[in-house]
Amino acid sequence: MPHTVHVIGAGLAGLSAAMRLAQAGENVLLHEASAQAGGRCRSYNDSTLGMMIDNGNHVILSGNRSALAYLDTIGATGRMRGPHEADFSFIDLASNERWQLRLGDGMLPWWIFSDARRVPNTRARDYLVLARLMWRPGKGTVGEAITCSGALYERLIEPILLATLNNEPPEASARLAATLMRETLAAGGRTCRPLIAHEGLSAAFVDPALAYLAAHGATVQFEHELHRIGFEDGRAISLDFGGKAVRLAREHAVILAVPPNFAARLLPGLQVPNEFRAIANVHFRVGQATALPAMTGVVHGLTQWIFAYPGRLSVTISAADALMQMPREQLARNVWGEVASIAGLPETLPPWQVVRERRATIATEPRQEALRPQAVTAWGNIFLAGDWTSTGLPPTIESAIRSGERAAKLAAA
């Protein structure tokens, strides 16, 4: 007999859980509060720019095994595009130097020993600091584990950690940074190829997942917010969707795949991370093609990464809390000043859009890490999923999808 599982929240964690349950033949009901699936990873039609854009530029790496398995199951692997090798273009705005970081395919980091391939102005022995961070991170912050200054830090470690941990690196958890470095840089170039959803996030991660769920008999309800859970004898016995209470039979399970603050409201006594970090994205509609690669890292600028799409350049700034109050046009102008000089484009501000996600991810500092809960809760038939749960990974797509897989296994067990 199939189990019945209510999945609450159709972000990537909820979609991943629902997809794995539907694949296993379970009876799945997915409930989403908003009118759209995808949560923090979605596309929308932007009327100012007159084009579909993503809420934020998202990159996954070729070593993100759960994200790739998810895309494979829903038939969307081809919607991701990236270079054949782990190549990253960088520019330093302070010196105007440009370089290419080529990691190569092997496990051994030969690039460190090549003047032409390692970060300019660094020596092979500088990279010992990476080994220290990876293998002896300690329980504290990155700033306690390594010295956060110098060319290698500013040109490699800081850009990678800012983008993946979404936190000022000196205050971020060294253990989380170590896991990340071990799963990427230390595992070799084959796991570090950056992959981008070239037709948009929804076309890759969301629409094919909804089609898969429909084809496998799952029910998806939008604008169906869970308001309250009824409890009895250590189990959930009812779900209140605002007027419509659903009774749960003994064998029914619930996966809560909602952000941490919502989960804490629904589950009394649940401890969750309670500090967040912002991400700002500034999008520009550009008429002419540029020579910029799909992704460029920018050092010593307000801009951190530039993404080049057909007809659009798009900038990501992580840990952007200090920019939340800046007037939108000023932010667009400041960022465009940098982008125009890098891309060799006119200084006149083209049509722009600023998208700031105040609660883009949880903070990844040691005290917040300690608050990330396991999937199993104090209630026998309720399980947690979400990038913020205790996955051992930074709050990313990979973490969200892996958490969904794990919650699906638990709910079906």
Ligand X SMILES: Cc1cc2nc3c(=O)[nH]c(=O)nc-3n(C[C@H](O)[C@H](O)[C@H](O)COP(=O)(O)OP(=O)(O)OC[C@H]3O[C@@H](n4cnc5c(N)ncnc54)[C@H](O)[C@@H]3O)c2cc1C
Question: In the 8-state DSSP scheme, what is residue 184?
Answer: T
Please identify, using beta-carbon distances, which residue of 64 and 381 lies nearer to ligand X. 64
Q: How far is the CB of 84 from ligand X (least distance, A)?
A: 20
Please identify, using beta-carbon distances, which residue of 111 and 241 lies nearer to ligand X. 241
Q: How far is the CB of 349 from ligand X (least distance, A)?
A: 22
Please identify, using beta-carbon distances, which residue of 59 and 119 lies nearer to ligand X. 59
Structural Rg of the chain based on CA atoms: 22
Q: How far is the CB of 309 from ligand X (least distance, A)?
A: 14
Q: Please report which residue ranges of 325-365 form alpha helices under DSSP H.
A: 328-343
Q: How far is the CB of 10 from ligand X (least distance, A)?
A: 5
Q: How far is the CB of 351 from ligand X (least distance, A)?
A: 20
Cα–Cα dist 245/238, whole Å: 6
Please identify, using beta-carbon distances, which residue of 42 and 118 lies nearer to ligand X. 42
Cα–Cα dist 111/117, whole Å: 5
Cα–Cα dist 86/343, whole Å: 22
Q: Look at residues 255, 268, 226 and name the one whose alpha carbon lies nearest to residue 243.
A: 226
Please identify, using beta-carbon distances, which residue of 257 and 292 lies nearer to ligand X. 257
Distance set, CA 323 to CA 179, 279, 320, 338 (Å): 29, 9, 5, 16
Q: How far is the CB of 4 from ligand X (least distance, A)?
A: 17
Q: How far is the CB of 48 from ligand X (least distance, A)?
A: 17
Q: H-helix or E-strand containing 186?
A: none
Please identify, using beta-carbon distances, which residue of 13 and 236 lies nearer to ligand X. 13
Cα–Cα dist 281/304, whole Å: 10
- SS3 readout for 118-169: CCCCCCHHHHHHHHHHHHCCCCCEHHHHCCCCCHHHHHHHHHHHHHHHCCCH
Q: Tokens at residue 265, please?
A: 């409201």
Phi and psi, residue 145, nearest 5°: -85, -35
Q: How far is the CB of 161 from ligand X (least distance, A)?
A: 13
Q: Look at residues 318, 332, 328 and name the one whose alpha carbon lies nearest to residue 364.
A: 318
Q: Tokens at residue 271, please?
A: 């401890």
Please identify, using beta-carbon distances, which residue of 62 and 127 lies nearer to ligand X. 62
Strands 276-285 and 352-362 come out as: antiparallel
Please identify, using beta-carbon distances, which residue of 128 and 214 lies nearer to ligand X. 214
Q: How far is the CB of 131 from ligand X (least distance, A)?
A: 25
Phi and psi, residue 288, nearest 5°: -95, 155
Please identify, using beta-carbon distances, which residue of 99 and 388 lies nearer to ligand X. 388
Cα–Cα dist 399/260, whole Å: 14
Q: How far is the CB of 147 from ligand X (least distance, A)?
A: 27
Helix, strand, coil share of the chain (percent; to 5): 35, 25, 40
Please identify, using beta-carbon distances, which residue of 55 and 381 lies nearer to ligand X. 55
Residues forming the site for ligand X (CB under 6 A): 8-14, 31-34, 39-41, 55-56, 58-60, 225-226, 257-259, 262, 279, 281, 357, 360-361, 386-387, 395-398, 400
Cα–Cα dist 397/273, whole Å: 18
Question: In the 8-state DSSP scheme, what is residue 351?
Answer: S
